[in-house]
Amino acid sequence: MNKMNVILKNLLKLEEGPADCIRIGEVVAALKKMKRHKAPGLSGLSAEIIQATEGIGTQWLLDICNGIAKEDCIPEDWKSSVILPIYKGKGDPMEC
């Protein structure tokens, strides 16, 4: 699952009816929970990049997520991900 999908899923937790606005503290908490040193998704953005921008990146992500919640429409490219197995020198390389 794409990292942005995970962030969005954790932030929105949509139920029936209109979604509440996401608060900045929820975005900060979700970013802190994300593992560091992981490959970015199709967007090229990793949690570290957003965290490094401090308030600007967090506000940007908040605005995007609240816009999606308001419009009730997740972008199509957020619904896909690419998974590439990488052999790390342990076990059978044909089983990675």
Q: Which of 30, 12, 5 is nearest to 71 (CA)?
A: 12
Residue 20 · residue 73 · CB < 8 Å: no
Dmax over CA atoms of the chain, in Å, equals 49
Residue 68 · residue 74 · CB < 8 Å: yes
Residue 65 · residue 27 · CB < 8 Å: yes
pLDDT of residue 16: 53
pLDDT of residue 86: 78
pLDDT of residue 75: 84
Sequence spans of domains, the chain: 3-95
Question: pLDDT per residue over 26-68, tens digit each?
Answer: 988 988 888 888 878 777 888 888 888 878 888 998 999 899 8
For 63-83, b where at least 16 C-beta lie within 10 A, e where not — what string? ebbbebbeeeebeeebeeeee
* Rounded CA separation 33/29 (Å): 6
User: Which range, of 4-13, 29-38, 77-86, averages the lowest pLDDT?
Assistant: 4-13
Determine if the pTM surpasses 0.75: no
Mean pLDDT along residues 76-91: 79
Check whether 7 has a pLDDT greater than 90. no
pLDDT of residue 48: 86
